[in-house]
Chain A
């Protein structure tokens, strides 16, 4: 569904991603793991068009989307849930969700999306009129994911959804990610919570200083020596 090949990204002319290639298959959860500064968020920004590519290609459903403006990428069916949640703190939960849904023109479909999101996150339905900034960290993460789902994406990019959450909530978030896959969405997940992420992953890539060093099925990587040493501390 998504093919990234030899993608080069950087900030102010300095290369941060020196040519990464990976594939995201339809209906699967693909995970990119890596330490701080490995360039995981940079790749996400590159795919969603927030950061212009300095080389390489990104193909989504057969169409080259490299250097397409972000609003067109969202329309094409890719939603980006940024790192650190980034909900609009001074706007209500309802407004946050509505902002996700503006790209959906069909109002019947919109209703379905709201219903789906409320079913998945009942807590958000209870807090609709509340300002997003008053939610707990876990609730804000749910809101950020829900907002992403409101654009009815085919592919959803989740950038470290477990960041800064209590272990119990992390488990819950990973449960939500499973549910999203069951809804037929394709997921590209970037994580530092390596063990849980790899258990979930259909396919995984390990990123080190801007390059893919290993790839394979999620469970396969759990057994890899490098992953064990570097990320799992075994």
Chain B
């Protein structure tokens, strides 16, 4: 009963986003929208593991970094197209997630979170000191004649559509995932691990599956980022603050919902950009303070995030219109 108005709204928003570049002339706004899509993709990736399966990772920049470095290094060293590099990066981050996940998922709750923070930090230090990948200096991606094959374009419009496409793929995946047995298993694990176990769910296997999907989308985002900015270093693709942001976006938007991370990114990212733009260097940390405040407010007042408000609103209106409808009929 909720599905119809909902999907219509989504189709409408998607259509608007498709024609938006024709209407928005200023590159600054396009740039912000591209980053919003990217962060929605990353938030959605985190949401598979953190929101659906309930395993909070604070080291997800690791997989983003693997994606960024894989495509960049394969292009620089082997001349491979970043698209191939992206798939290699996704495979690589899935493998790394499996290797790290196996020991990490033996610990639970806060200890798991601490382990992921440590892994993220280790990756940061490792890449900072690894000369082959450029160390702390990072790597520039050389400018090539633009085209789809080399993942380089003049202007922002192509990047806009690619980011939107990546996000759409992730949303469609999550939509089908949540309706499949995977989504059920993930949520059961989040709700109560022991009960899920007693129902015959292999907990470690499905946590690792959630982590693998999550890592793959993070890596795809990493390649996109590298190709968009054409410069990567540990400070930009492996920082702790990125791990935190990708976790805050779904919390703000709505954990364990398909579109929550999108809403979260649309609220959070422009907010921080505008604060930074309007306050300049002095406002550098203010956006982080505001994130923190928002999270605290949501954690206390509305743990279901902005999506929680929206679903309640839709449900409220549905029941209200149903009541109104029956009154009308009664009036006849």
Contact = CB atoms under 8 A, between A and B. Distances in A.
Interface string A40-74: 00000000101000000000000000000111011
A102 to B, nearest CB: 6
B198 A88 contact: no
A147 B201 CA distance: 13
B184 A98 contact: yes
Given A50-B194, A82-B195, A90 B202 contact: no
Nearest to B183: A95
Interface in B195-237: 195-202
Contacts of A69: 202
Interface residues of A, number: 23
Contacts of B197: 50, 70-71
A165 interface: no
A100 B199 contact: yes
Nearest to B189: A88
Contacts of A147: 199
A82 B198 contact: yes
Given A48-B198, A74-B199, A91 B188 contact: yes
A28 B191 CA distance: 33
B192 A86 contact: yes
B195 A71 contact: no
Nearest to A73: B200
B195 A88 contact: yes
Nearest to A103: B200
Contact of A70 (B184, B187, B188, B200): B200
Contacts of A80: 198
A208 B199 CA distance: 28
A69 B200 CA distance: 9
A90 B187 contact: yes
B184 to A, nearest CB: 5
Interface residues of B, number: 16
B332 interface: no
Counting chain B CB atoms within 10 Å of each CB, the highest count among A75, A89, A95 belongs to A95
Nearest to A95: B184
A102 B184 contact: yes
A226 interface: no
B28 interface: no
A99 interface: yes
A151 interface: yes
B188 A99 contact: yes
B190 to A, nearest CB: 8
A162 B200 CA distance: 24
A91 B200 contact: no
A102 B198 CA distance: 13
29 contacts: A50-B194, A50-B197, A70-B197, A70-B198, A70-B200, A71-B197, A71-B200, A71-B201, A71-B202, A73-B200, A80-B198, A82-B194, A86-B192, A86-B194, A86-B195, A88-B188, A88-B191, A88-B195, A89-B191, A90-B187, A91-B187, A91-B188, A98-B181, A99-B188, A100-B199, A102-B185, A102-B200, A147-B199, A151-B199
Interface of B: 181, 184-185, 187-188, 191-192, 194-202
